[in-house]
């Protein structure tokens, strides 16, 4: 699986205390590394998701500053020449997701100047980097998780999330998709009566539907590639992000099937 890693930059004045001593005048930023298959949707980012109980590590890279991801993804990156020594990475600091909630980020291409780190319970530790960038206009998973945190005061209180990190953030219309309109994720979640992050089966179905339809029929309605088909815009936006140093390529190794050695 070939992902695009989006570099979500932690505001320089909010670098976590544990990491501060490692940031020098030559450090080119501290980033949450979000793995996505939809680089053309980055205009619609409203926040970043981490899992409260997953451990994330910060490590130094050659070209991309200090990155934060799961351990597993850090090791994969070390084998993809992100680090100084092939196959090795040095942990500068470790965090539980909960320790990073509420951090302000700069997300490349986003309509919003600053977006915040928020909790998502359905993040898988063994997929991508464990860091997910949220596009609630076009991802049903993101839409329901954002509605959860907007609607549930107790959820915000539990994780110390302020209203100002959530309430001003609404899905941004970025892709026209017949017959769903410009906010495909909310349309399909309402049609299918999906209520929360825990509606697993229905959510999977909704994601599948939007993902395939968007690729074949979606048209971008924002940014430099306005009026371009999603299938064409994907490569163009990705190349721009990589050229500008705001993203990089990340490969997910094939998952091993039960071994049959004998």
Task: List the one residue from 50, 109, 135, 183 that touches ligand ZZB (CB under 6 A).
Answer: 135
Structure tokens at 162: 């302020």
Task: List the one residue from 210, 220, 230, 248 that touches ligand ZZB (CB under 6 A).
Answer: 210
Rg (CA), the chain: 18
Task: List the one residue from 10, 15, 35, 247 that touches ligand ZZB (CB under 6 A).
Answer: 35
- Only one of the segments 13-21, 25-33, 135-143, 190-198 lies at the binding site for ligand ZZB (rule: CB under 6 A); that segment is 135-143
Q: Assess 132 for contact with ligand ZZB (CB under 6 A).
A: yes
Q: Three-state DSSP class for 176?
A: strand
Q: Assess 139 for contact with ligand ZZB (CB under 6 A).
A: yes
Q: Assess 123 for contact with ligand ZZB (CB under 6 A).
A: yes
Q: Assess 38 for contact with ligand ZZB (CB under 6 A).
A: yes
- Only one of the segments 103-111, 120-128, 155-163, 230-238 lies at the binding site for ligand ZZB (rule: CB under 6 A); that segment is 120-128
Q: Assess 36 for contact with ligand ZZB (CB under 6 A).
A: yes
Give dist(CA 175, CA 173) in Å, integer: 6
CB of 246 to ligand ZZB, least distance (A): 14
Name which of residues 148 to 207 contact ligand ZZB (CB under 6 A).
207
Contact between residue 149 and residue 119 where contact means Cβ atoms under 8 Å apart: yes
Q: Assess 249 for contact with ligand ZZB (CB under 6 A).
A: no
The nearer residue to ligand ZZB, 27 or 170, going by C-beta atoms, is 170
CB of 62 to ligand ZZB, least distance (A): 24
The nearer residue to ligand ZZB, 79 or 211, going by C-beta atoms, is 211
Give dist(CA 224, CA 237) in Å, integer: 9
Contact between residue 108 and residue 40 where contact means Cβ atoms under 8 Å apart: no
Give dist(CA 207, CA 185) in Å, integer: 8
Enter the DSSP assignment of 98: H
Q: Assess 211 for contact with ligand ZZB (CB under 6 A).
A: yes
DSSP per-residue codes, 7-27:
EEEEPGGG--HHHHTT--TT-
Q: Three-state DSSP class for 46?
A: coil
Burial annotation 165-193 (CB, 10 A radius, 16+ → b, else e): bbeebebbbbbbbeebebbbbbbbbeeee
Q: Assess 247 for contact with ligand ZZB (CB under 6 A).
A: no
The residues binding ligand ZZB (CB under 6 A) are 35-38, 41, 123-124, 127-128, 130, 132-133, 135, 138-139, 207, 210-211
């Amino acid at each position: 699986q070939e992902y695009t890693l989006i570099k979500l930059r932690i505001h320089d004045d909010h670098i976590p205390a544990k990491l501060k001593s490692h940031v020098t005048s030559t450090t080119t930023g501290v980033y949450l590394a979000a793995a996505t298959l939809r680089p053309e949707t980055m205009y619609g980012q409203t926040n970043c998701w981490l899992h409260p109980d997953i451990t994330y590590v910060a490590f130094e890279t050659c070209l991309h500053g200090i990155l934060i991801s799961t351990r597993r993804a850090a090791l994969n990156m070390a084998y993809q020449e992100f680090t100084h020594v092939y196959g090795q990475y040095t942990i500068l600091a470790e965090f539980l997701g909960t320790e990073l909630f509420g951090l302000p980020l700069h997300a490349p291409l986003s309509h919003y100047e600053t977006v915040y780190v928020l909790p998502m319970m359905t993040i898988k530790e063994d997929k991508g980097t464990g860091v997910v960038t949220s596009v609630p206009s076009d991802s049903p998973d993101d839409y329901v998780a954002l509605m959860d945190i907007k609607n549930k005061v107790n959820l915000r209180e539990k994780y110390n999330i302020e209203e100002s990190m959530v309430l001003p953030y609404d899905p941004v219309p970025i892709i026209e998709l017949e017959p769903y309109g410009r906010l495909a994720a909310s349309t399909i979640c309402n049609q299918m009566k999906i209520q929360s992050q825990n509606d697993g089966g229905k959510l999977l179905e909704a994601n599948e539907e939007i993902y395939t339809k968007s690729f074949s029929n979606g048209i971008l309605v924002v940014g430099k590639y306005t009026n371009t088909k999603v299938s064409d815009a994907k490569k163009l936006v990705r190349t721009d992000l990589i050229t500008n140093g705001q993203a990089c390529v990340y490969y997910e190794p094939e998952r091993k099937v039960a071994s049959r050695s004998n």
